[in-house]
Structure 1
Amino acid sequence: MKIKEIIVVEGKDDTTAIKRAVDADTIETNGSSIGESVIEQVKLAQQTRGVILFTDPDFPGEKIRKTISEKVPGCKHAFLPKEEARPKNGKGIGVEHASVESIRIALQSVKEEMDEFISEIFLDDLLEAGLVGGNRARARREKLGALLKIGYTNGKQLHKRLQMFQISREEYIKAVTTILQEENN
């Protein structure tokens, strides 16, 4: 599987994992304090070939994703569910621990950022589905992020991410229904 865009990852172990799964070029951020030279590389990559942000499903990974998105608009995003980014020994989390198949699925499910989208999903919908507030909200958001391939977010960011990736009301309802049915079985 050949990827046209340049994939932005956190480090060399992520690059190794990506190259095991697909034929692609990468840019490594080397951590969450992203230097101006890395931002310039990402800007050039976006202008010439396009960029896919593929960071770890943890706080530092989300910070990197947010920083680059703000400075380089129009990036595409690939997400791994947390359970697919854990090593067998359970210590740590990252793209480098994901299977070849998980990486390929994430890259086939890339989401594109969109600015001009009016969501049909409202904050009340998130409350009603138990995605914000309540003791199961976090687990439900994790499942929703995996089903919709938009990654995990906290309650405040969920609505923004649904808008950013133009998730339709139908897609949202289908995913929420699946989550609630799984809980009732």
Structure 2
Amino acid sequence: MNKFCFSALMFSLLTSAFANAGAKTVLHIPLFVEVTSGAQPNPKYTYVPVAEFNKVLIQKGQKAQPEALEISDASNIDTYAIRDALDTAIQAAGIKNAQAMGEYYPGQWSTKKAYTCYRGDAKGVVELAASLADRVYSDQYTVMAWRLGQDKDLGSAENESDFASKAWDNYNVKSNTVLMLGSVGDDGTDVNESLIPACK
């Protein structure tokens, strides 16, 4: 097994430190549309927040679609239905080069105005994000390590240098931003950085 992968038991131990009586953790997750331009074999893909793309839909006579998810519990979320509704609106508007696009890991398509953030207890962010695998994020999404202020957990890695992560190396320990390193690959060798700040 790759050293970055860890078992369900390891993950349970990793996230148990987050259990407390603080305010409920809520993740604000913006929704995006993938817009394709240029010809094959080298098309260009642009990821546009639904908050911006709604202007196009309204101009085309369609209703505005939900701009973001507000999630505190993974058990009752159906992102597939939300994306299907968005795709239906895009097709009804006659737009051929766009489709609803989910993220493989938290914050993948972030922009300055549309980015994943949290409300409530920062200590619940990792556990909540991990529970969204195969619901909001890739079905293979796993959290390998995390940082929050002075606290950190390396998961199954032996050394911090194993991650080769600039975000990890440059993390501000006085910050209330949650940093997660995750994997979505088959062998767990990819390292994806997710910086989740408190919502403004």
On whether the aligned pair clears a TM of 0.5, the verdict is: no
Flag the structure with higher strand content. 2
Instruction: Pick 1 or 2: higher relative contact order, CA cutoff 8 A, min separation 6.
Output: 2
Instruction: Give me the TM-score of the superposition, normalised by structure 1.
Output: 0.25
- TM-score of the superposition, structure 2-length normalised? 0.24
